[in-house]
């Protein structure tokens, strides 16, 4: 073959030989033929190696992001391909897999609502798959990556998220006064954290430097994404901070293994639905038997990320320098500017807090 590998077929007739050669060539083109130099490619199952490879071959990836990769693979890839060897997986199987993942008729149903995976989420799963086959090729389990020859439909296109309006932030403030759980989203509005970062905040991450409050935000992807974010005093005084090892925002459940645990993505969705419902009620929406009665005052396209975008908008309006804005929003993983962000570091964040009044963030929302 063109890659230098030698393959053998056994046949009783010329016709049988030609047919086996054709099938073998098709498999090689699809990237599924095992490499003769390592017969283990015929026996090692995908589920037997994926966690080890993530731990050993992604050394520069943060533990939290490694866990995210494992969770995606366990949820999506392993149920279909875990019991197969790498040599058994071909491009047709993977293409059908992604078709099912993005098809309206195949969406998982949770709480009566169909779940549709976004384009970015589908791309993450494809990246995970690519990682597996690159490792398999390096270990000489297979000769090619079958993903190189497939094309899959994109997931649900993400809508360009808008910043939350001042009125929407004010509504959020009011419902958070009534229910402290909704302060989860106030942190996004006043500190610009991602929802995943808010969920992981612990008491030990709430620190004071020179009498100024900060969140120590631990990066969710790269180990270089750690940063200090100034916290407005108004928000700081309301935070339900307990012990250093306790999550600031904790689940309240009777489940023995989830009590006082952090808000995972499912819990965050439920929390947001309840928060948005209370915002509608606070804005004057009528209810019937616990359900909202249209029209709804709160815009349908309002999402938690709108509050993070509102924070970014306020930084721009308050003329915070661009480099600082990028640092405060945690964009340290952007390859073209990662050196600049790393040079800013935690010390620069403290310097910025000394020279800039971050209390004006809360005042900027009219």
Q: What is the pLDDT of residues 140-158, one digit of tens each?
A: 888 778 887 665 444 444 4
Residue 347 has pLDDT above 60, yes or no: no
Q: Could you tell me the sign of the dihedral formed by the alpha carbons of 48, 50, 51, 55, in that order?
A: positive
Predicted pLDDT of residue 204: 94
Predicted pLDDT of residue 249: 92
Residue 28 has pLDDT above 80, yes or no: no
Cis peptide before 188 (omega within 30 of 0): no
Mean pLDDT of the chain, nearest integer:
78
pLDDT tens-digit series, residues 282-292: 999 999 998 99
Most confidently modeled range among 115-119, 150-154, 262-266, 305-309: 305-309
> Helix and strand tally (H, E) in the chain?
15, 7
Domains within the chain, CATH numbers bracketed = 14-149 (1.10.150.130), 166-364 (1.10.443.10)
Predicted pLDDT of residue 137: 87
Range 168-204 burial, b when 16+ CB lie within 10 A, else e: bbebbbebbeeeebbbbbbbbbbbbbbbbbbbbbbbe
Predicted pLDDT of residue 227: 85
Q: Could you tell me which residues come within 8 angstroms of residue 109 by beta carbon, excluding any fewer than 6 positions away?
A: 115
- Coil/strand/helix, residue 213: strand
How confident is the model over 271-282, as a mean pLDDT?
Answer: 96
């Amino acid at each position: 073959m063109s890659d230098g590998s030698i393959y053998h077929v056994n046949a009783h007739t010329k016709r049988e030989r030609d047919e086996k050669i054709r099938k073998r060539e098709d498999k090689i083109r699809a990237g599924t033929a095992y490499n003769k130099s390592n017969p283990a490619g015929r026996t090692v199952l995908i589920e037997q190696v994926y966690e080890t490879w993530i731990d050993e071959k992604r050394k520069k990836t943060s533990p939290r992001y490694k866990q995210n990769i494992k969770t995606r693979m366990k949820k999506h890839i392993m149920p279909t391909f875990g019991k197969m060897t790498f040599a058994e997986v071909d491009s047709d199987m993977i293409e059908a897999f992604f078709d099912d993942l993005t098809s309206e008729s195949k969406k998982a149903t949770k709480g009566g609502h169909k779940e549709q995976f976004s384009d970015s989420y589908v791309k993450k799963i494809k990246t995970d798959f690519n990682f597996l086959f690159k490792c398999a090729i390096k270990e000489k389990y297979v000769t090619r990556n079958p993903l190189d020859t497939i094309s899959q439909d994109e997931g649900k296109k993400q809508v360009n998220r808008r910043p939350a309006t001042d009125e929407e932030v004010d509504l959020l403030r009011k419902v958070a006064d009534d229910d402290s759980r909704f302060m989860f989203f106030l942190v996004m509005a006043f500190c610009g954290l991602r929802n995943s970062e808010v969920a992981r905040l612990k008491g030990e991450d709430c620190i004071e430097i020179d009498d100024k409050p900060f969140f120590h935000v631990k990066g969710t992807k790269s180990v270089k994404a750690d940063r200090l974010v100034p916290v407005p005093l108004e928000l700081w005084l309301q935070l339900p901070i307990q012990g250093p090892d306790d999550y600031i925002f904790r689940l309240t459940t009777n489940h023995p293994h989830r009590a006082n645990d952090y808000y995972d993505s499912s819990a965050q969705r439920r929390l947001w639905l309840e928060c948005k419902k209370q915002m509608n009620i606070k804005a004057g929406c009528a209810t019937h038997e616990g359900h909202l009665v249209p029209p709804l005052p709160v815009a349908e396209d309002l999402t938690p990320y709108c509050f993070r975008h509102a924070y970014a908008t306020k930084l721009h309006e308050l003329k915070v320098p661009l480099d600082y804005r990028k640092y405060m929003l945690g964009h340290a993983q952007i390859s073209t500017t990662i050196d600049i962000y790393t040079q800013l570091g935690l010390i620069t964040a403290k310097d910025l807090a000394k020279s800039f009044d971050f209390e004006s963030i809360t005042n900027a929302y009219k």
